[in-house]
């Protein structure tokens, strides 16, 4: 055909086989189109195969660096984000429960003490601390905390505010 698509195959006397072959061709065409919009594919086409369409590889594009909407990759990412958010909340609860409360509402705990308690729950304590700091729930000195070297460093959990409670729901 002139537009580049393949004609359906007809196998005389065997309609079921013809249907299967045509279904396979449709899947192959769909896959090839997806590969043209995949920047990691050798068939990548920045225009997406159509001269009027751009697939949005600009850093200003809100879809930049994100999986396609509705894809399994997006669903896995959302599920992982939800799981990590629950771990952040669990960590904050643990700090509030076992840390030293201050009159200004902050709660303090040493990294060594927290590490000993939290490693029973999860082996990702430092990553969870970094995530909680990123969301403004707590703070500690330095960029990273290391077992043994930083056991005396103090982790400060900020007091809960109404906005924080809403944020924690969004985590």
Q: Give the model confidence (pLDDT) of 29-45 as tens digits.
A: 999 888 887 778 888 87
Q: Which of 42, 109, 85 is nearest to 171 (CA)?
A: 85
DSSP string, 51-107: TT-----STTSTTTTSPPTT-HHHHHHHHHHHHHHHHHHHHHHHHHHHSEE-TTS-E
Instruction: Write down the pLDDT at residue 13.
Output: 66
Q: 18 with 8: CB under 8 angstroms?
A: yes
139 sits in which H/E element: strand 138-140
Higher local confidence (pLDDT), 56 or 68: 68
Higher local confidence (pLDDT), 12 or 170: 12
pTM as predicted: 0.62
Where in the chain are the domains? 9-66, 72-170
Q: Which of 3-12, 121-130, 159-168 has the highest mean pLDDT?
A: 121-130
Instruction: Write down the pLDDT at residue 155.
Output: 95
Does the pLDDT value for residue 121 go beyond 50? Answer: yes
Q: Which of 90, 77, 92, 78 is nearest to 136 (CA)?
A: 92
CA atoms of 88 and 108, how far apart (whole Å): 16
Percent of the chain predicted with pLDDT > 70: 81
Quote the longest CA-to-CA distance of the chain: 86
Hey, which CATH number is domain 72-170, 3.30.70.360, 3.30.1650.10, 1.10.10.1540, 4.10.1240.10? 1.10.10.1540
Q: Which two tokens stand for residue 60?
A: 């200003």
| CB under 8 A, 24+ apart: contacts of 44-51 | none
């Amino acid at each position: 055909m002139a537009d580049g698509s393949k004609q359906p195959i007809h196998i005389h006397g065997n309609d079921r086989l013809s249907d299967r072959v045509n279904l396979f061709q449709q899947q192959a065409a769909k896959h090839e189109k997806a590969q043209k919009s995949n920047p990691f594919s050798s068939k990548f086409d920045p225009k997406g195969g159509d001269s009027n369409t751009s697939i949005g590889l600009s850093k200003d594009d809100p879809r930049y660096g994100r999986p396609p909407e509705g894809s399994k990759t997006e669903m896995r990412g959302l599920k992982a984000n939800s799981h990590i958010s629950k771990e952040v909340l669990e960590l904050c609860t643990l700090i509030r429960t076992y840390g030293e409360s201050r009159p200004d509402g902050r709660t303090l705990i040493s990294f060594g003490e927290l590490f000993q308690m939290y490693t029973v729950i999860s082996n990702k304590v430092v990553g969870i601390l970094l995530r909680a700091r990123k969301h403004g729930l707590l703070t500690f000195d330095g960029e990273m905390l290391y077992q043994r070297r930083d056991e005396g460093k103090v982790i400060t959990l900020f007091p809960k505010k109404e906005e924080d409670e809403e944020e924690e729901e969004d985590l």
